[in-house]
Structure formats: structure tokens, C-alpha cells
């Protein structure tokens, strides 16, 4: 586990990025395993009262029974698989936090996306700790401050780990925009604490 990390000096944020948290070989194995064995599903979300299919596939895992609700969806967790437990343990050791839950996203290609939002659902508590692991195609993670005119883009590469904590979710929004450049899949795992 290599730990050269980058802390972007952003106001009202506590964000760290570990570019090669997992080795390429390890990441290749995790990517294939998750792609094949996670029961990926496409849910319908509600935005301003209208229903749309979510522009990506998702799955929820947890070590408690607590559900996670956002955008009009309520997801019930499946018990962690051995692979997810292994990834979770490695992340927990490095970031010194214990997670209960993992939300997984599969972006099938560059046309799948994740709109502007903050991870500020009430079940995540006041200052959520979110550890986000990426495998597969590199995608741009965009951050923008809610009130100041400040933006930051981070390329989330194969095997990278992004940590967001403190007051970050109060002041910043994030998104994964569509891109014509990527034709292949990306898997993202966001470890969270739900209490
Ligand atoms: O795919 C990503 O890197 C971001 C996922 C995300 O923001 C979320 O699931 O809340
Ligand atoms: Fe998010």
C-alpha cells in the first residue's frame, strides 16, 4: 500500500487523493471480479417529480441492515462479499476509519454519468467520511464550491483512492460528467458510514 497522497489546498474542504493506492495487477483482478460478480442494477430516480432511469448501474453492500436513500431511491444492503471486505480492510487501514456500507457504481461507458450532488444524506451523519475507490477507465471527477467560484477536476485513475471528509460535503458539489473519450467501463466504490 503506497501512500504518497495529494491534498488539494481547497477552502472548506478536506480532500486527499492517492493515485496508485492499489497496484495495477491488483486493480485488474478487482475490476474483473466486480464487473462479473456484482448484481448490477439500473434504478429509476426522481428529479423534480419526474422519473428517469439512473445513468449508471449501482449496488449496495453493508455490514448492518440500514438502507440508504437518495434521489427518491431506497437501497437495501447485501452482505459484503470476500472481495469487498478485502478492499474495505485495505482502505480502512490507510484512512483510519471504519465503514459500514459501500455504494458501487458501474459506468458502462462515457455516456454513463453522475450529476452534481453532495453526499449529505442524513444517514451519513454531520461530517461524512467518504472513501472512493476507482477501477477501470479513468474518468474526470469535478468539484465545485457551492458559493465561491472555485472548481477542481481530478482524474480518477485505475486503482486510485479519493478521501473526502470534514466539512467537504457542506460546501462542495461533485459530479462525473459524460465524455465521448471513454468507451469502456469504470467501477467506483464509495465506502461510507451509515448509522
Ligand atoms: O463515481 C464516482 O467517482 C463518484 C460517485 C459518487 O459521487 C457517489 O456515488 O456518490
Ligand atoms: Fe457522491
For the stretch 91-106, pLDDT in tens is: 999 999 999 999 999 9
Atom of ligand 1 nearest to the CA of 174: 7
Whole-model pTM: value is 0.96
Tell whether ipTM is more than 0.85.
yes
Please choose, from the candidates 159, 193, 162, 192, the residue with its C-alpha nearest in 3D space to the C-alpha of residue 176. Answer: 162
Rounded distance from Cα 43 to ligand 2 centre (Å):
16
Rounded distance from Cα 82 to ligand 2 centre (Å):
24
For the stretch 116-138, pLDDT in tens is: 999 999 999 999 999 999 999 99
- List all residues 6 or more positions away from 49 whose beta carbon is below 8 Å from its beta carbon: none
User: How far from chain centre, in Å, is Cα 172?
Assistant: 15
Ligand 1 cavity residues, CB under 6 Å: 103, 105, 114, 119, 132, 141, 156, 174, 176, 188, 190
Domains of the chain, earliest start first:
14-37+51-192 (2.60.120.590)
Atom of ligand 1 nearest to the CA of 175: 7
Amino acid at each position: 500500500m503506497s501512500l504518497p497522497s495529494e491534498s488539494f489546498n481547497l477552502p472548506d474542504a478536506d480532500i486527499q487523493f492517492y493515485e496508485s493506492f492499489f497496484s495495477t495487477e491488483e486493480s485488474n483482478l478487482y475490476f474483473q471480479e466486480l464487473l462479473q460478480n456484482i448484481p448490477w442494477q439500473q434504478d429509476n430516480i426522481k428529479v423534480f417529480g419526474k422519473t428517469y432511469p439512473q445513468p449508471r448501474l449501482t449496488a449496495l453492500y453493508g455490514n448492518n441492515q440500514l438502507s440508504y436513500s437518495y434521489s427518491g431511491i431506497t437501497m437495501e444492503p447485501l452482505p459484503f462479499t470476500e472481495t469487498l471486505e478485502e478492499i474495505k480492510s485495505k482502505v480502512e487501514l490507510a484512512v483510519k476509519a471504519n465503514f459500514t456500507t459501500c455504494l458501487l457504481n458501474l459506468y458502462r461507458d462515457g455516456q454513463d454519468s453522475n450529476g452534481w450532488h453532495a453526499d449529505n444524506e442524513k444517514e451519513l451523519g454531520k461530517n461524512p467520511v467518504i472513501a472512493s475507490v476507482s477501477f477501470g477507465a479513468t474518468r474526470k471527477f469535478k468539484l465545485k464550491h457551492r458559493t465561491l467560484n472555485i472548481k477542481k477536476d481530478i482524474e480518477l485513475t485505475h486503482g486510485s483512492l479519493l478521501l473526502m471528509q470534514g466539512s467537504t460535503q457542506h460546501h462542495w458539489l461533485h459530479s462525473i460528467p459524460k465524455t465521448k473519450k471513454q468507451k469502456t467501463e469504470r467501477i467506483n466504490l464509495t465506502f461510507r458510514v451509515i448509522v
